[in-house]
């Protein structure tokens, strides 16, 4: 590889290895009217194409469309449960008020028929997701209408309005609770006009007891749903972090993760004198391998070198891929010990055989650099190893070069 091209692709000053991102709950964390959904629809994360995390990039549009269409089905059971719980304080108050049959009919429609009707309307809609959003607004309309029909009985009125408003906020749908307020207020005014704004705020013990299930069950359901969502997001973030730390092709550390680990090793060296050596490895004539045998064979070579690195290091040190055909290792060892490791690796690469390409023979050139003293940093350490690698290339490739005091070792 041409050294100028290599320096440009490696870019010592940049951190090009995978940018990560946290999956955030978005439009899909919708809640039903009173009980939240437990199956969120995550927002689509944006990731760099060069990031290993692209393996779990945003779901394709057709997958997201399927999840949006499934929203009414996932909302259905929670709406049935929530509206059913709302019926308990309503029945208790209406019995005390000896409400007329139209009020009972309206309660029955909202609590027992509406959840099923909402499901059918959304399922048959050309846009189930938007239809479900309208259903959420109608949920608030029903809740608002019940307040004047209960003569503004304090505890169940506050509970119903607070619960239905909180669920709109918890849904994660931007502005849903605001869009629901006009319908809720309109229902309160309309119901008040029908009842003459009858006002009986005192709550009996019976009504209090009837209000407890929606308070307790709703709170537990929201907590469980939130817990499941948080756990799901945490698991996705852990997966993204793990992928972000690995090079997709070789399984070695990504550049960004390798830099973090190597910088920590360098800081320990500068603070306590812990030995540390940098090993920069370049596959010889890699472009020629790609041109002659194909990029698949080139990938085989890179993976084989990575496997040999893992075998030689045996968990000691930090091995990463800088990009292209270059690897880098930060060893907690002195220059002499690092040179032994480099020579074993170089010999193992030269002995590689590839079943699919019998004529292919690989080799590597390796540059070694001891850790610099403060205030020099990782960039200078990499540049020192780069200069040593340049010497190994210039002297004929397939060899290891260290500091200027050490002659290069060749095959």
Question: Mapping DSSP to helix (H, G, I), strand (E, B) and coil, where does residue 370 land?
Answer: strand
What is the per-residue pLDDT for 33? 38
Cα separation, 365 vs 348, whole angstroms: 13
378-394 vs 3-10: helix crossing angle, rounded to 10: 160
Residues 6+ apart with CB under 8 A from 79: 32, 33, 34, 35, 114, 115, 118, 119, 135, 139
CB distance 399 to 408 below 8 Å: yes
Cα separation, 244 vs 236, whole angstroms: 12
What is the per-residue pLDDT for 278? 95
CA gyration radius for the chain? 33
Cα separation, 252 vs 193, whole angstroms: 71
Q: Where are the domains of the chain?
A: 68-243, 255-410
128-149 vs 71-97: helix crossing angle, rounded to 10: 10
What is the per-residue pLDDT for 411? 53
> Considering the domain 255-410 in this protein, what is its CATH number?
3.30.70.270
Task: List per-residue pLDDT tens for the chain, 411 residues long.
Answer: 444 433 333 333 333 333 333 333 333 333 333 333 333 333 333 333 344 444 444 444 544 555 556 678 777 888 888 899 999 999 999 999 999 999 999 999 999 999 999 999 998 988 888 898 899 999 999 999 999 999 999 999 999 998 888 878 777 778 888 889 999 999 999 999 999 999 999 999 999 999 999 989 887 877 887 788 788 888 888 888 777 778 888 989 988 889 999 999 999 999 999 999 999 999 999 999 999 999 999 999 999 999 999 999 888 889 999 888 999 999 999 999 999 999 999 999 999 999 889 889 889 999 999 999 989 999 999 999 999 999 999 999 999 998 654 445 555
CB distance 39 to 243 below 8 Å: no
Question: Is pTM, for the whole model, over 0.75?
Answer: no
What is the per-residue pLDDT for 68? 56
Question: Mapping DSSP to helix (H, G, I), strand (E, B) and coil, where does residue 375 land?
Answer: coil
């Amino acid at each position: 590889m041409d050294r100028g091209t290599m320096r440009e692709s490696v870019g010592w000053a940049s951190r090009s290895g995978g940018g990560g991102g946290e999956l955030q709950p978005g439009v899909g964390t919708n809640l039903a009217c009173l009980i939240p959904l437990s199956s969120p629809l995550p927002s689509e994360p944006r990731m760099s194409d060069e990031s290993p995390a692209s393996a779990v990039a945003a779901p394709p549009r057709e997958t997201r469309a399927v999840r949006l269409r499934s929203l009414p089905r996932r909302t259905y059971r929670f709406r049935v449960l929530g509206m059913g719980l709302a019926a308990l304080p309503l029945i208790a108050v209406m019995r005390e008020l000896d409400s007329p049959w139209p009020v009972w009919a309206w309660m029955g429609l909202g609590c027992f028929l509406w959840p099923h009707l909402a499901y059918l309307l959304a399922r048959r809609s050309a846009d189930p997701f938007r239809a479900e959003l309208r259903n959420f607004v109608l949920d608030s309309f029903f809740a608002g209408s019940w307040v004047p029909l209960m003569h503004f009985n304090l505890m169940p009125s506050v509970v119903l309005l607070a619960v239905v408003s909180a669920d709109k906020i918890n849904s994660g749908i931007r502005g849903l609770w605001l869009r629901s307020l006009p319908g809720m207020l309109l229902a309160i005014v309309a119901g008040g006009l029908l009842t003459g704004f009858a006002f009986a705020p005192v709550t009996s013990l019976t009504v209090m007891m009837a209000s407890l299930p929606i308070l307790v069950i709703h709170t537990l359901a929201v907590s469980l749903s939130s817990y499941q969502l948080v756990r799901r997001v945490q698991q996705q973030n852990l997966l993204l972090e793990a992928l972000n730390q690995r090079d997709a092709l070789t399984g070695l550390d990504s550049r960004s993760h390798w830099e973090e680990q190597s910088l920590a090793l360098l800081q320990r060296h500068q603070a306590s004198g812990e030995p540390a050596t940098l090993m920069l490895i370049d596959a010889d004539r890699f472009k020629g391998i790609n041109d002659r045998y194909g990029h698949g064979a080139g990938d085989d070579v890179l993976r084989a070198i990575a496997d040999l690195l893992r075998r030689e290091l045996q968990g000691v040190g930090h091995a990463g891929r800088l990009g292209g055909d270059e690897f880098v290792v930060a060893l907690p060892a002195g220059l002499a010990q690092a040179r032994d490791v480099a020579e074993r690796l170089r010999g193992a690469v030269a002995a590689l055989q590839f079943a699919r390409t019998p004529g292919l023979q690989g080799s590597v050139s390796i540059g070694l650099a001891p850790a610099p003293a403060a205030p020099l940093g990782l960039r200078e350490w990499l540049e020192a190893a780069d200069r040593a690698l340049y010497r190994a290339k210039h002297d004929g490739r397939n060899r290891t070069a260290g500091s200027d005091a050490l002659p290069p070792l060749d095959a």
